[in-house]
Structure 1
Amino acid sequence: MFCKRVGDLNTLSDSQPLSSDKVSSTPDWNRSFIDQGWIQASRFVVDAGHVRLMPFTQREVNPSLEGMRAAAEADLARMRRKPARLTRPVILLNGYHAWAGIVASLRRQLIRLTSHNPRDFLDVSYFLKRDFPNVRSYAIDEVAQRFSIERSFDFVGISMGGLIARLVTTPDETDQRTLRAERIFTIASPHRGANRAKRIHIDPAARDMIAGSKFLERLNRHVPSQLRCYTQIRDEIVGATNTAPPGMHPFWMSGTWVMGHFTATRNPMILADIARHLRGEQPLLPAHAASVPVRD
């Protein structure tokens, strides 16, 4: 179940198949082979790091999710065996100055859990962008190169990418272009600010992610009704209690003892719940599992 509150995502029905979208003949559309090589190499490093950290997962402390991890892992195996056609494209948005391999790793996971078709997904990174207006414009440009922006999309945002997903679906003073969102899934996103930004804010984007900033105040005046937020506790970067807008709670769960912010994209419960939604199936996580996290 998604949050029902003020705000609208201007949804658009999608009757045309995904294959009708404009697609370049080059692999991964307009990316050079050098770019692809860098992305794949960094994805490999990210995947290897996750594998090493997963044995250090905490015991689940969310009482609403007791025993859910094993069920999620079994469900992931089922979905990998049985692909399902997607209704609309999925746009994945990376985090703050984040390695391209982070979002590429999540894209690979979701491809294997849904349609098995890489062309249903687009991942967007903006490593050198330093402020939200530039990131917003760049993300829309990237989507427009791959798809018709007249249709609707599902968005998955990692960390700051969750804020970008909300930004690209609302008009901007300097760029009136918007994308249409059917659903927005955010993972460890600083909807109420990032704890680390209080201490380290080297550019405008970081300053805008300080709790109480004018940027966050404006963004949170209108919260999308079809927004679903996930987080792990022991998030040293954002803080689990900051990962849903005011008036909402995240689906929170235990993660790894260290690097909890960065391993959230490999949490089997988060992956299974998002994949089920994308496949048109019932969600894995019960609505009451969205509550105030017991700790950051």
Structure 2
Amino acid sequence: MRTALECEGLTKRYGGLLAVDGLKLCVAQGEAYGLLGPNGSGKSTTIGMIVGVLAPDSGIARVHGHDVWRQPRQAKGLVGYVPQEVALYPDLTGRENLRYFGRLFGLRGRRLAERVSALLDVVGLADRADQLLGTYSGGMQRRINIAAGLVHEPSVLILDEPTVGVDPQSRNAILESVQRLVADGMTVLYTSHYMEEVEKVCDRVGVIDHGRILAEGTPEELMGMLAPGGRTEIEVEGDVRAAEAAVAALAGVTVTAHRSRLLIAWGEGADRLADVLRALDGVVTVVRTEAVRPTLEEVFLQLTGTSLRD
């Protein structure tokens, strides 16, 4: 499959701080790729170098083979960038904002008018197109912000936290718009702190921290890292601590107790549930067992740590 976006050895320092550390990234054409990382992980710096607003100290970023810094006109013309903050004019209407950004990219006349109308339909704001942007809700402004990033018909769309601070209905509308774009062949690089969004929208996910990709794969592949063999929740009656100790004595099995429940996990290989139940026999009464699917958030916390940092 053709590569749409790639980074090789991308590095950026701010004084003594190594913000991005030899980062390697490859996104295929038509793929939705989620970039997850805590505050200060290097996400924003990476995006800044990809879109050409930050110069790397070393390394290369390419869009469809065009070097972002050596061939800026070709590379930047292929990228649509939607920043975290709404970068539009409140004293212009939604339509006027899109026309303005279209003209910056050289669109004129009928082509510009048709493109603006099509994008207003894509983001579901055709009925509000001729109202001032300042009268829009936060969610509506973010939807127009996405349309502005698409007005020049890019092949790669970079969405940096596109749903921050919006209501659930607007978030759902934004996610549906992104899914339609990907279904139509758009390549998307998507950053978010909402794990359920990334799981819903993205084909593959990369977890970044300290300026490096720590793990990469489909959401299912990443979630499988926590318990490649299986994971089961067991509800018990009796001495939960004694039950925890009995299961902890089994080789290759991990257990966490919480109130009347035990969370059991094991590595690759044979199903260990039968061994666990035998260990619990005579110690507690097993009320219920249920296979439990790991979450992307658990993977994220395991890879990046649980402590808050800025």
The TM-score, its normalising length taken from structure 2, stands at 0.33
Q: State the structure with more CA Rg.
A: 2
Greater relative contact order (Cα < 8 A, sep 6+) = 1
Whichever structure has more helix as a proportion of its residues is: 1
Superposition TM-score, scaled by structure 1 size: 0.34
Please identify which structure carries the higher strand content.
2
